[in-house]
Structure 1
């Protein structure tokens, strides 16, 4: 991020030479949109907080030719809508001027930036750890000398310089992570937690050098670099969690077919990258391939597996005139589609955009800590300055007055405040990990404690996620099994699994979208839809029909079995004050059956991904804080928009990436345990905040009155950090209530 700023000429609000490369031709990166607008996607660097979003979007809103701008903080993606007279180069110059350089958005660039940030944090953490360990080798003898051990002035000074030679460079290098953030915050006219941390570290180093030069006793090179080491652990963990969470949208788009078979006017077929598909193109989709873009069937019949999109376990038959959505799996027949949308406007792409827009969240406790830091800077640093002035006016020597002022800043350094939340989150995450629950987001753990309503997806969360044959006569199963073993249909596979190993019907032929048949010496056998075998339609049921060679009909019903551990889950949540509902993409009969078994009167079926998001928005409008639990692609947008999200370990990668916590699929009762731990973590965090406030209220005035020397200040500062850490570790002993 650029840290320098040059005001542009008064005649032009934007300097023409503000950014290198800003005058390049960017027309190739513009995407035509509705109402004559065009869209420009940029990768912005240096944006880390809500203030960054506000400034970037506000500056661009006032830029001529810009219709709107929306920054996704999680991915760094800035979507700018331009009027026909809008100049993309002007957008780049505006961003450069305000300190947020940008380049055309490219997923590879995003990954590179994330990797670079991770490497910087890892390097800073390693250097801080090295400096902390080695600086203490020289500082421990100095502190021991204060308790009567034999250590002459010359030896003490040598040890102090040795500690400075190791600790100070390491502290400066490792502290650059905080110094850059603090400088950026101060330039924006605000104070975050990095401001007092940076001031405390820099002042500690300066006072330590002063004491070393004057052959004093008190130096804190080891304390400065150790503080940075502890804080960098939390910063690196936060980066790792955020990077994993950002991958949800990328995981979604990875489910799209990388290319499509486009049919030319002469009927010739060519394989083209997905980005080249345009509305109106005719596409060929073979069995086993995914639908590349949204389209309508022109020719062919087949069955489409929408489970990954909607969660519905029963494949849907398609024929000419039926719409198909991108990402669905073509099971049986050869289809010709007419594309209705480009890849960036497909169902999957729209879900990915919903995920991105819902991914921006910020820790409530971090916001609280930042507010405390904003008060800390003027209050404590004013107190330090007043301490020096009053002591000097009272005739205290300038050196003593400086030490007394430094003591005020050292003893009130916000170490306990900085560790209050990370220590609790690490302890809570460790406790849940031992129960098989992975915490992916510290902010999500905080929001989980605030949840008052749980919205469940059905398939794969409350149920096992695969159809099972209901009670049927073993003799009937044995009759249909040879045909079932010859089919790849999910229901046929479930029937074959119930029958076990055995022969496969010779000469079996799959009839696209209908079923499978085989001719025997006595007649024709068929397994499939009711109409295919000549059976009467039986309504909204998941079923297969079998007609044997003699014309006898047999009906097989299937259901997605409810997980036994989920039966009492609604009651367990109710005892904790949470209500529950089911938001399912499956059919009404299947959803009603599960809702009845669990005792959940509030349920909805047949929901699309957008429908689930709208249902969550309605709950939010009613004042509910919703925990969404889902596992399918149709749940990813809802998981990202919910107040907090959980996914089972068997969920799609995209769903796990969008979730804040991942639990063992076979143990849904862990959801209630995670809520207990999150609520306990909230109590521990608030206790730590209260202790940090009380500590500063007592220690600050004591240091101002000269009752605390630098050595005691260092011990008190370290002790306050130890207290909040030990309080957090109470979570590991099972203090969940």
Structure 2
């Protein structure tokens, strides 16, 4: 994309602004060099303070800074880029391909630096170990000791200078703009350690800490490389979803000739051809042809879905039979698969309560630690220590109090939990969702599509009656209407259709107004049934009843039993009739249930439970569940649910069973426990380590081992979590 350039304001980035509904505009930046919670907080706070910016959110996993401008203001994308660079970070307009390449380059650089640091640490210690022998009464001669120190320094110094570049460059960028990030005290501590060690060696002193400097870099790089791998795991989840989109599409021109185009060049309105065995490239509408689609990867629906002219299809669906001609309905980046991938990215690193606590603690770290180190040096010298010993204590304080453990405490847990649940078929939309889910004490299930398979079967309807009701059924997304439409097959659709959530659908068929839905909606009073049902009727004419059966999910009863065993209470809130709801409740072992509820009734029921102090998990899939999902403490929806319902939910699960609900709950409780353990460890570590370093009980080498070890502890503690196998 060509840019104009103003020597004062910089490049014109207005072409990268993306318009949104309501007049808002979005701008995405690729930010390099942000590694921790403090970096994220500094960037988000700095950008959010700009005039016209409504919100700023940095995803550490992808490096993408998503900025939203307020409606009605002149969006200045260049000001955002300059603000980020002014904070000491490199930035450029976000390009997914460049982001992936940058992430891979960083991984290769970290791996190479780690190898150099490992070589340096191992070989420097080869000369340091004989020096340590003096601790056990095997003192080396002065000349031999100095020679060993020089060899240790000659090996360690170039390794430190090369392997430490990720920290030194980050610190320099920050200092150059008058700020200090987490890498500043690390860099100062390492370079001061090298300086002191060379001074000691030149003056024939007893102690040198070349091995401490290179070991510190080595252990820090292990922590950063593990963090990089954890984030790559979350990034790969989104990439796996985007891989469902074909890399190219076959388009038809005005003469009917086929052209193969990259997916990025597909525009709204393009005519596409998808043959059997190929995936749908973008969300589209079928213009011609008929066939069956496999939506299992998108919704968990294993049964093939028939499509014909007028059917809406989603990117990623696999065409099983019949060539289809499609009209592209959205841009590739706005497809259903891309939207889900964005949810995965958002869930991988989110601003939960624990992350916000870590941000606040990390924000005060640099001034506090630098002040403590300076006071240690001044106080030590004032109390009679030589400048060398006082400086060593100050360096030890700088090294040992690095808050890497605090910065990794929550993100490591969130990324591992979200990635593990994704592999179990559960999409986590935010880390805060896991925290809320861990607090749940009451579970509310919808019946149709949640406790049941959501694939109702029509019972005993004649072809003539089907033909009458099918035009309205084809216009509705309700599971019963879809079953009726599937039974009737392809055909015309009613005109001027409107749907009332929880009631039914209304439209015009052959010039007559008709309704399809609940008995009261159609105009039938005092009716109840032993089966799930829909009523159909033309206004002013006889009404017809269609009955359906819907099988329970195979593990519904086991899921309810597992939730009860964990101390949760369970109930059903359903819009269905009392007969089917009562039988479903009895079959799965739920004693509390209510039937015939409207969307408002469900939302009010959740509100009453919340007012009673209950922490409610709502599991629903229909349009009439969206309000209740939004009011619940935590919310889950199956992958087959409507888009509005999934948007209202915190977690979305795929597959045929309900075991994902138990797995998510167990994982949430484990994640909370691991995060609190990490916080407790980080706090205890600093309470012990900082005073010990200030009192001179810890030298720089031990400080390096302790600080790096603390980061490894919290990371490994997060990795030991077993997804879906938590304990209460």
| Shared fold, TM over 0.5 | yes
User: Per-residue deviation at 1:446?
Assistant: 12
1:168 aligns with 2:157: yes
Q: Could you tell me how far apart the structure 2 residues matched to 1:598 and 1:702 are?
A: 63
Aligned residues: 603
Q: Residue 509 of structure 2 corresponds to which residue in structure 1?
A: none
Q: Could you tell me how far apart the structure 2 residues matched to 1:127 and 1:605 are?
A: 53
Identify which of 138, 154, 161 aligns with 2:127: 138
Identify which of 348, 352, 355 aligns with 2:337: 348
Asked whether the 8 Å contact 1:135–1:164 carries over to 2, the reply is yes
**Residue 380 and residue 409 in structure 1: after superposition, are their counterparts in 2 closer, same or farther (change >3 A)?**
farther
Identify which of 677, 697, 707 aligns with 1:684: 677
1:693 aligns with 2:686: yes
Q: Could you tell me how far apart the structure 1 residues matched to 2:420 and 2:255 are?
A: 62
Asked whether the 8 Å contact 1:462–1:562 carries over to 2, the reply is no
Task: Spell out the pairing of 1:657-736 with structure 2 (5 A cutoff).
Answer: 674=667, 677-696=670-689, 698-699=691-692, 702-703=695-696, 708=697, 714-715=701-702, 718=705
Task: Spell out the pairing of 1:500-515 with structure 2 (5 A cutoff).
Answer: none
Asked whether the 8 Å contact 2:193–2:209 carries over to 1, the reply is yes
Identify which of 23, 42, 52 aligns with 1:51: 42
**Residue 118 and residue 312 in structure 1: after superposition, are their counterparts in 2 closer, same or farther (change >3 A)?**
same
Deviation per CA, 1:43-72, whole angstroms, max 9, x where unpaired?
A: 44345523223434655848xxxx998765
Q: Residue 502 of structure 2 corresponds to which residue in structure 1?
A: none
Identify which of 90, 109, 112 aligns with 2:98: 109
Asked whether the 8 Å contact 1:688–1:724 carries over to 2, the reply is no
User: Per-residue deviation at 1:239?
Assistant: 0.8
Q: Could you tell me how far apart the structure 1 residues matched to 2:416 and 2:301 are?
A: 36
Q: TM-score, normalised by structure 2?
A: 0.63
Deviation per CA, 1:431-480, whole angstroms, max 9, x where unpaired?
A: 99999999999x96995697224999999x999999999xxxxxxxxxxx
**Residue 571 and residue 257 in structure 1: after superposition, are their counterparts in 2 closer, same or farther (change >3 A)?**
same
**Residue 28 and residue 724 in structure 1: after superposition, are their counterparts in 2 closer, same or farther (change >3 A)?**
closer
Task: Spell out the pairing of 1:317-328 with structure 2 (5 A cutoff).
Answer: 317-328=306-317
Q: Could you tell me how far apart the structure 2 residues matched to 1:728 and 1:56 are?
A: 30
Q: Could you tell me how far apart the structure 1 residues matched to 2:648 and 2:359 are?
A: 25
Q: Could you tell me how far apart the structure 1 residues matched to 2:57 and 2:175 are?
A: 24
1:451 aligns with 2:438: yes
User: Per-residue deviation at 1:167?
Assistant: 2.0
Identify which of 182, 192, 199 aligns with 1:203: 192
Task: Spell out the pairing of 1:292-371 with structure 2 (5 A cutoff).
Answer: 292-361=281-350, 371=360
Deviation per CA, 1:641-670, whole angstroms, max 9, x where unpaired?
A: 84xx6979x99xxxxxxxxxxxx9989866
Q: Residue 235 of structure 1 corresponds to which residue in structure 2?
A: 224
Q: Could you tell me how far apart the structure 2 residues matched to 1:647 and 1:349 are?
A: 17
Q: Could you tell me how far apart the structure 1 residues matched to 2:151 and 2:303 are?
A: 72
Deviation per CA, 1:510-535, whole angstroms, max 9, x where unpaired?
A: x9869xxxxxxxxxxxxxxxxxxxxx
Q: Residue 211 of structure 2 corresponds to which residue in structure 1?
A: 222
Task: Spell out the pairing of 1:517-536 with structure 2 (5 A cutoff).
Answer: none
1:180 aligns with 2:169: yes
Q: Residue 554 of structure 2 corresponds to which residue in structure 1?
A: 561
Q: Could you tell me how far apart the structure 2 residues matched to 1:348 and 1:427 are?
A: 26
Asked whether the 8 Å contact 2:556–2:658 carries over to 1, the reply is no
- Secondary structure class of the residue paired with 2:399: coil
Task: Spell out the pairing of 1:242-321 with structure 2 (5 A cutoff).
Answer: 242-321=231-310
- Secondary structure class of the residue paired with 1:561: coil
Identify which of 16, 35, 45 aligns with 2:7: 16
Unaligned ranges ≥5, structure 1: 1-13, 470-510, 515-537, 542-554, 652-663
User: Per-residue deviation at 1:16?
Assistant: 0.5
Deviation per CA, 1:186-242, whole angstroms, max 9, x where unpaired?
A: 567665543333332222222222222221112222122222222221211111111
Q: Could you tell me how far apart the structure 1 residues matched to 2:427 and 2:205 are?
A: 47
Identify which of 55, 62, 66 aligns with 1:75: 62
Q: Residue 496 of structure 2 corresponds to which residue in structure 1?
A: none
Asked whether the 8 Å contact 1:257–1:274 carries over to 2, the reply is yes
Q: Residue 597 of structure 1 corresponds to which residue in structure 2?
A: 588
**Residue 318 and residue 92 in structure 1: after superposition, are their counterparts in 2 closer, same or farther (change >3 A)?**
same
Asked whether the 8 Å contact 2:292–2:307 carries over to 1, the reply is yes
Q: Could you tell me how far apart the structure 1 residues matched to 2:149 and 2:393 are?
A: 19
Identify which of 127, 138, 149 aligns with 2:138: 149
Unaligned ranges ≥5, structure 2: 458-487, 492-529, 534-547, 594-616
Q: Could you tell me how far apart the structure 2 residues matched to 1:462 and 1:680 are?
A: 29
Q: Could you tell me how far apart the structure 2 residues matched to 1:359 and 1:305 are?
A: 28
Q: Could you tell me how far apart the structure 1 residues matched to 2:709 and 2:76 are?
A: 55
Q: Could you tell me how far apart the structure 1 residues matched to 2:453 and 2:26 are?
A: 40
Q: Residue 520 of structure 2 corresponds to which residue in structure 1?
A: none
- Secondary structure class of the residue paired with 2:567: helix
Identify which of 380, 386, 393 aligns with 1:407: 393
